[in-house]
Structure 1
Amino acid sequence: MSNEIGEFLKSLRKMRGLTLVQLEKISAVSNSYISQVENGHFKPSPDVLAKLSKALNANFFDLMVKAGYISTETKRDSMDKDFVTNMISQLSFDNKKAFISYFDLNYNKGVLFPSSRFEKQELKMKELKELGDIEELTESTITDFLITNFNILADMGDFLRLLRIHRGLTIDELADKLNVDRDEYVNSENNLDSFYALIHHYSEQIGAILNVGDFSKWYSEQKFSAPKDKVVVNDDESFGEKRSMKEETNKTEETFHIENIFSLKNLSINNRLLTNTEKEKALQILKLIFEES
């Protein structure tokens, strides 16, 4: 039996200058178990790998690959520029319509975004409503709309939902793999943004389970490296005559208002959620600093 993961962990431990006992203290994994893993007698579970990756300052995804849980090929495929487009195309018709409903719900909630992004969202949602009732639209119409506008309308939770569905995992299955309460996971997927605590705690594990490496890094690369200027020609009769939809490239930088950030319900630092009092104090301190400067 191959012992790639054991040999790799042993080399990392020695590179860090740690004894088995020292690694036990910082990882909460018994030194006898680590020794058995290093010698090829046990295959460490993903939970153990998560602990050891933090203790050894190693990449969790790399450990999962060497332990044989996931494939490097899947990771490479997930970074392909057309990966999101392919995932959308492969969704069931019901799931495609569900994403349209999610976007409509988020738009109506008035989620806090930079003003330039909200203006783009508003424009795209108006285009959607002009197409007519979702239930009466053809699958090709909805597919084209999603492919063209997913990066504009989707937040981090939408990317997580899309990836989870593509990997064939239910909400219950992913929550179970993360060892989190189902309702907590559902709330996270529905309200996820880069400030939400769940990402800080589980980004590497989510990415490893879904085969994309660190999830938050994958999201950033997919979200912000996508082509800004794309023409999509739609042949569906519901559009009337054939026409091209061209996304406008916004050359002005997006501005985040610090007050909006501090008004977020779930704002964390060092993996701890801030109380409202702490958020108010932090905001006042920042204001004082920039008043003095």
Structure 2
Amino acid sequence: MARLSDRAAGAVGSLGEYLAEQRRHAQLSLRQLSDLAGVSNPYLSQIERGLRKPSADVLQQLAKALRISAETLYVRAGILDPDDSAEGTDGRKVAGVVDAVLLDPALNERQKRVLLDVYTSFVRENAAPDEPPATQPPARKRSAD
């Protein structure tokens, strides 16, 4: 778990930058977003500047106001690990792809979930290919007669 808390400490600044970017993308002022989310204007400003780490509840309120996934903000804040189990065929974590999907504002939540499900199934399929037992001869190609 130390890995997550280390990541959380480094993610606060990027969370604030991401929130500010999403707020601008939604064409909302700081005051408008604070009103919509039910958080104070100074507190939201401190979050955006990376001075405060908001709770999961505050992140959920902000996500709802911005019409983005709360999960996306949890990942950005280091509260949620995007996908601990997915590994590439070379054993490296594929969190970069998961982050990209979760953070893409062009996708809705259903699309993100479906895309990640498909991606994860492909990664698992390629990471652990089923090998035939050693006692069976390799399959032969059929020739067209």
TM-score of the pair, normalised by structure 2: 0.51
List per-residue Cα deviations over 1:47-75 (Å, max 9, x = no partner).
00000000001111111011001111237
Measured in 1, the distance between the counterparts of 2:82 and 2:37 equals 26
2:34 maps to 1:24: yes
Corresponding residue of 2:43: 33
1:58 to 64, 68, 80: 68
Cα distance in 1 for partners of 2:70, 2:86 equals 16
2:16 counterpart (6, 9, 32): 6
Change over 3 Å in CA distance of 1:29–1:75 after alignment to 2: farther
RMSD over equivalenced CA pairs, Å? 2.4
Task: Please give the alpha-carbon distance, in whole angstroms, between the structure 1 residues aligned to 2:42 and 2:84.
Answer: 33
Take 1:28 and 1:75, find their aligned partners in 2: how far apart are those partners? Answer: 35
Is the alpha carbon distance of 1:67 and 1:75 closer, same or farther for their aligned partners in structure 2, counting shifts above 3 Å? Answer: farther
> When you count helix as a share of all residues, which structure comes out higher?
1
Distance 1:11 1:75, change over 3 A: farther
Q: Read off the aligned partner of 1:70 and give its amino acid letter.
A: L
Q: Give the C-alpha shift of residue 24 in structure 1.
A: 1.5
Determine the structure 2 residue equivalent to 1:116: none
SS of aligned partner of 1:23: helix
Q: Which protein has greater RCO, CA pairs closer than 8 Å, 6+ apart?
A: 2
Q: 1:6–1:75: structure 2 CA closer, same or farther, 3 Å change rule?
A: farther
Code of the aligned partner of 1:33: Y
1:46 counterpart = 2:37:
no
Deviations 1:271-293 (A, max 9, x none): xxxxxxxxxxxxxxxxxxxxxxx
Whole-angstrom CA distance in 2 between matches of 1:46 and 1:75: 23
AA of the residue aligned to 1:73: D
- Flag structure 2 segments of 5+ consecutive residues without an equivalent: 1-8, 88-108, 118-145
Offset of residue 76 of structure 1: 4.6
Aligned partner of 1:15 in structure 2 is 25
Q: For 1:22, give the aligned amino acid.
A: Q
- Of structures 1 and 2, the larger Rg is shown by 1
C-alpha change, 1:7 and 1:75, in structure 2 (3 Å) is farther
Distance 1:63 1:75, change over 3 A: farther
Distance 1:14 1:47, change over 3 A: same
**Residue 84 of structure 2 aligns to a residue in which SS?**
helix
Show CA shifts across 1:202-259 (max 9, x none).
xxxxxxxxxxx98xx68xx7xxxxxxxxxxxxxxxxxxxxxxxxxxxxxxxxxxxxxx
Do structure 1's residue 72 and structure 2's residue 82 form an aligned pair? Answer: yes
- Structure with higher strand content: 1
The alpha-carbon distance between structure 1 residues 73 and 34, as it changes in their structure 2 partners (threshold 3 A), is same
Provide the rounded CA distance (Å) in 2 between the counterparts of 1:75 and 1:16.
Answer: 33
Match of 2:61, as an amino acid?
K
